Amino acid sequence: MRYWLFKSEPSTWGWDDQLAKGDVGEEWDGVRNYQARNFMREMKVGDLGFFYHSQKEKAVVGTVEVIAEAHPDSTTDNPRWECVDIRAVETAPNPVTLETIKADPRLSEMVLVRNSRLSVQPVTPEEWRIVCDLAGLSATK
DNA sequence: GCCAACGTTGGC
DNA sequence: GCCAACGTTGGC
């Protein structure tokens, strides 16, 4: 069981949109980056992830669960792009901002800090625990 | 709105 | 196969 981080611009697909899909969840489509796609291929049903808002908000706003493993991205005919399906699990009582993450030395190695442009990224179990703690999240499903 | 960082494309 | 040019992302 692994941990991940999904980044999205709230104006395109935000936490509210994800919540509205409920347990049915939604495809994490539109990824056109090999690194991000490769991470999605590694995902298993039951893996957990953070939902991160980029741009204006720049904060972890909730947790999601992988409910379907990598399959063709329905938004393109190009077979090289795949995506997983995720569902919202829990809304963060206290969203954790990028500023907070950058200020915490324990989180200085997060991919979010190291490579801010990668839209799907792995999170270590320790980082998961720390960010959940800061966010007031339960860290489980 | 700017710009740095990064990924991709295409000419050679 | 290299690398310059270009496009995109996302933080500031």
Domains of chain A by residue range: 3-135
Q: Is the pLDDT of residue A132 over 90?
A: yes
A116 Cβ within 7 A of any nucleic strand C atom:
yes
Render pLDDT for A13-42 as a digit per residue (tens, 0 to 9). 999 999 999 999 999 999 999 999 999 999
Contact between A128 and A54 under an 8 Å Cβ cutoff? The reply is: no
As given in the structure block, the two tokens for residue A108 are: 């200085």
Nucleotide nearest A32 (Cα, C1'): B7
The string of pLDDT tens digits covering residues A51-89 is 999 999 999 999 999 999 999 998 888 888 999 999 999
Strands (E) in A9-43, as ranges, are: 26-27
State whether CATH 3.40.920.10 applies to domain A3-135: no
Q: Which nucleotide is nearest to A34 (CA to C1')?
A: B7
Name the region of A60 (left: φ>0; alpha: ψ -120 to 50; beta: rest).
beta
Question: Å between A61 CA and B4 C1'?
Answer: 26
From the CA of A141, how many Å to the C1' of C9? Answer: 31
> Residue range A39-46: average pLDDT?
96
